Amino acid sequence: MDQRSSAKTIGCAIVAGIIYGISNYISSRINLPGCSFIELRPQVALPMFMGVYFGPLAGFITGCLGDRVGYAFQGLTIGYAWNWSIGNGFIGMLPGAMSWLKIREIKSVRDYAMLLILIVAASFLPIVFASAIDIMIRELSLANTIYSLILPAFITDAVFGLIIVPVLLIVAGYIRFTIGIRNMLLSTYLLLFAVLTTYLVSAISMWGSTGSQTLNYSDIYNIGILSLVVLFIGLSISAVLVNKIVAPVMTLTDAAREISGGNYDLSARLEKAAKRDDEIGCLAAVFSRMAGEIYNREERLKKEVRDLKIEIDKTKQKAEVSKIVDTDYFRNLRTKAKELREKHE
Amino acid sequence: MPKIISIHSFRGGTGKSNTTANIAAILALNNYKVGVIDTDIQSPGIHIIFGMNEDNIHYALNDFLWGKCAIEQAAYEQTRNLNLNSSGRLFLIPSSFKTGDIARMLHDGYDMNLLSEGFKQLVKSLDLDFLLIDTHPGLNEETLLSIALSDFLLIILRPDNQDYQGTGITVEVARQLETPKMELLVNKAPSVFSGADLKTKIETIYNCPVAGIIPHSEELMALASGGIFSLKYPEHPVTKIYREVAARMIG
């Protein structure tokens, strides 16, 4: 963000990087029973959050530095898996594209959808990058890389990112609770919950039927990918639907703002919303009619003022004046007043 | 040189007393010695704005006109009562609001010359810079007398046809009395009226300057009911209009 000083940003990024590194070290020590290469890394949300909130540079520092700190705890030197450190940097940097897109605060469905897309992209592209270098340098096989590196990391990182990053951003006050955002948050977490449940149930049932020794990991990853695809489709549909709900509300709010600014001629703009056969349609129709009435009244009043005629009946006035002036009292008074003034002067 | 200022309107209910009280307070705030005399003997009202009641009035203007007291004995200083933080002073000479007194005055009348004497004595004995006369609506004899004696006549009108007609008569009569300075104040103007437009129109028709246009507002009506508006709300736009009018009187 522009207004945050760069020194403070980098300071925050370094602190976040160290936390990320310690978490990496801890999570690397915890192995899921039976699958040594699946590492659950909820901390991946941290560089993503830093990227969104503080910008791409902060995100990169957090990710890259954190990765090195994690390795350092394991006693590994600077040259070890450098490509993965850069990859981790990219995990933080990609969500920083929010600031390139001039999104300073998430306040529309579009902004929110962009956030989700960037989280998924940050869970995928950097791992592909690091893995590709591994394939080139360490001559790993492509299939092996996909199933042992890319897919497990992608699935878990994307899920954790999608769950945790929005929460961190809400805490940081980066998300404004518009009607659209509330709806999107609701559908994101409901869908995540449903998809995760299905995924875990199927994984456990496969585990139960085959046992860990003969477990075919590729099946689990395929189901994971399938789950993510379902999640993606679900979120896309809800984004479209939420937009459909929110768009007319936005039209109404804009119209209300226009009215407070003095523009009452809104019937053309509200026409589409007013045709809806639901509560919002009813609201828009009533609103449009009210605005129209106010508009007509204002116009009428303005016209009245323009045509304002001060009508004075001169004959009547003359008669009234002479009734007062043509009296002895008045003539006396006039003389006396004159004398008084002359005395004053 | 002391100035006598009549504040008049052809019809009642234009906000004459309120305007008088506000302008008097502003003048006093500007370190002037100001007297306010209520010559609306038939329907006195300005004392209410200053928070006076029967208990704190002994002599009124009526008593002076009946020869019961000197005029300055009917003057009540409001400076402290209003917390005016200035070296100015403000005196109110109320009209009696006892129904018996009003009836007697209407029945017996009074000596007009005595009223004009009263004005002179007031200015002299209280050493006033300004004497503001809150007149009776219409153009009866004491009103004509007040206008005749005034250095400045402020005519208040509302923008409606009845007031336009009546104001025309007042303006014409005041011209014949050769009142040195005459200005109009439009009160309770509906907010849709553009101030500048209305001002030009009225000035052209009466060939008389418009000192200000006070918009009608519910808020103002509610706030004005208790006490002197300009003292309570010194930053309100309406207070600024009163201040401009007062400045024109200072000249």
Query: B200-205 contacts: CB < 8 A, separation 24 or more?
Result: B201/A308, B201/A310, B202/A310, B202/B159, B205/A310, B205/A312, B205/B164, B205/B168
Cβ-based interface (< 8 Å): residues of A facing B: 298, 301-302, 304-305, 308, 310-313, 316-317, 320-321, 324-325, 329-330, 333-334, 336-338, 340-341, 344
Which B positions 5-44 lie with beta carbon below 8 A of chain A? none
Quick one: A266 and A248 in the same domain?
no
Residues in chain A with CB shorter than 8 Å from the CB of B109 are none
d(C-alpha A19, C-alpha B2), whole Å:
83
- Tell me how far apart the alpha carbons of residues A300 and A308 are, in angstroms, rounded to a whole number: 12
In three-state form (DSSP H/G/I as H, E/B as E, the rest C), the secondary structure along A165-195 is HHHHHHHCCCECCCHHHHHHHHHHHHHHHHH
A&B contacts, CB < 8 Å: 65
Distance from CA of B149 to the nearest CA of A (A): 6
Total domain count, chain B: 1
Contact B92, B75 (CB under 8 A): yes
**Distant-in-sequence, close-in-space partners of B17: CB < 8 Å, separation ≥ 6:** B38, B40, B45, B46, B49, B134
The segments of chain A whose pLDDT lies below 70 read 1-5, 31-38, 210-217, 305-308, 344-345
User: Which structural domain, as residue segments, surrounds residue A242?
Assistant: 6-253
Asked if B145 reaches chain A (Cβ–Cβ under 8 Å), the answer is yes
Chain A residues with beta carbon closer than 8 angstroms to that of B194? 305
Shared domain for A209 and A293, answered yes or no, is no
Residues A110, A215 within the same domain: yes
Interface contact flag, A325 B176, Cβ < 8 Å: yes
My answer on whether A210 and A327 are in the same domain is no
Q: Tokens 């409901």 label which residue?
A: A190
CB–CB contact A305 B192 (8 Å): yes
In angstroms, how far is CA B160 from the centroid of its own chain? Answer: 21
Minimum CA–CA partner of B189 in chain A = A305
Asked whether residue A130 falls in the same domain as residue A215, the answer is yes
Residues of A within 8 A of B142 (CB-CB) are none
Residue that terminates a domain, selected from A253, A273, A293: A253
Instruction: Please give the tally of structural domains in chain A.
Output: 3
Same domain, residue pair A51 and A136: yes
Q: Which residues of chain A neighbour B178 with C-beta distances below 8 Å?
A: 334, 337-338, 341
| Residue A1 belongs to a domain | no
B164 touches chain A (CB under 8 A): yes
φ, ψ of residue A332 to 5 degrees: the values are: -60, -50
- Of residues B148, B169, B190, nearest to A320 (C-beta): B169
Distance to chain A for B236, nearest Cα, Å = 22
> Which tokens belong to A179?
């009607």
Q: pLDDT > 70: what percent of chain B?
A: 98
> Cβ B144–A310 below 8 Å, yes or no?
no
Q: Is A30 left (phi over 0), alpha (psi -120 to 50) or beta?
A: beta
pLDDT in the model for residue A204: 79
Strand partners, B132: B5, B36
Chain mean pLDDT for chain B:
90
One-letter identity of residue A80: Y
Q: A150: which DSSP letter?
A: I
Query: With an 8 Å Cβ cutoff, are A316 and B205 in contact?
Result: no
Predicted confidence at residue A276, as pLDDT, reads 83
Whether residues A334 and B202 touch (CB distance < 8 A) is answered with no
Residue B81's pLDDT is 86
Give the whole-angstrom CA distance, residue A206 versus residue B164: 95
- Cα A116 versus chain centre, distance: 10
Between CA A115 and CA A97 the distance in angstroms is 9
Kindly report which listed range (A241-245, B108-112, B211-215) carries the lowest average pLDDT score.
B108-112
- Tell me if B155 sits within 8 A of B167, measured CB to CB: yes
B144 to chain A: which residues are within 8 Å by CB? Answer: 324, 329-330, 333
Q: Is A29 exposed, middle or buried (0-12, 13-18, 19+ CB in 10 A)?
A: exposed
| Mutate: best of B119, B157, B169, B170, partner A, most A CBs <10 A | B169
CA pair distance B150, B139, nearest whole angstrom: 15
Section B212-232 average pLDDT: 80
Q: Which domain holds residue B119?
A: 3-250
Domain endpoint, select from A232, A253, A274: A253
Q: How many CB atoms lie within 10 A of CB A313?
A: 13
- As for the ipTM of the complex, it is 0.83
pLDDT value at residue A212 = 57
Answer yes or no: is A66 within a domain: yes
pLDDT of residue A46: 96
Task: Clarify whether residues A83 and A154 are in a common domain.
Answer: yes
Q: Which residues are within 8 A (CB) of A326 and not within 5 positions of it... i.e. 6 or more apart?
A: none
Our CA angle for B229, B235, B241, nearest 5°, is 70
Nearest CA in chain B to A311: B161
**pLDDT tens-digit readout, A248-298:** 888 888 888 888 887 777 777 788 888 888 888 888 888 888 888 888 888
Do A59 and A96 form a contact (C-beta atoms < 8 A)? yes
A110 and A40 belong to one structural domain: yes
Distance from CA of A160 to the nearest CA of B (A): 57
| pLDDT at residue A115 in the model | 95
What pLDDT score does A261 carry?
80
Within 10 A of B222 (CB to CB), how many other CB atoms are there? 9
Tell me which chain B residues have a C-beta less than 8 angstroms from the C-beta of A329. Answer: 141, 144
Alpha carbon separation from A216 to A147, A164, A212 (Å, rounded): 11, 29, 9
Q: In 10 A of CB A10, how many CB atoms?
A: 14
CA-based nearest residue in chain B for residue A297: B192
Specify whether A34 is located in the same domain as A65.
Answer: yes
Which is higher by pLDDT, B24 or A340?
Answer: B24
Are A267 and A169 found together in one domain? no
Helix residue ranges per DSSP H, chain A: 6-29, 45-54, 56-73, 82-93, 97-100, 109-138, 142-145, 151-171, 179-210, 217-260, 267-274, 279-306, 314-325, 328-344
CA angle A94, A99, A102 (to 5 degrees): 135
Residue A181 falls within a domain, yes or no?
yes
Residue A210 lies in a domain: yes
Q: Is B193 on the interface with A (CB under 8 A)?
A: yes
pLDDT in tens, B139-181: 888 899 999 999 999 999 998 888 888 999 999 999 999 999 9
Q: Report CA torsion sign: A278, A281, A286, A287.
A: positive
Query: What's the pLDDT at B225?
Result: 63
Establish if B181 touches chain A: CB-CB under 8 angstroms: no
CA B121 to chain centroid? 19
Whole-angstrom distance, CA of residue B201 vs CA of residue B188: 16
Q: Residue B173 is part of a domain; what is its CATH number? A: 3.40.50.300
pLDDT of residue A345: 57
Per the structure block, which two tokens stand in for A146?
A: 């996909």
- Quick one: tokens of A4? 């945050």
Give B69→chain A minimum CA distance, Å.
25
At B203, the amino acid letter reads E
Q: Which residues of B touch A341 (CB under 8 A)?
A: 178, 180
Contact B165 A321 (CB under 8 A): no
- The beta-carbon neighbor of B201 closest among A308, A333, A336 is A308
State the smallest CA–CA distance between residue B47 and chain A in angstroms: 29
Q: Do A247 and A285 belong together in one domain?
A: no
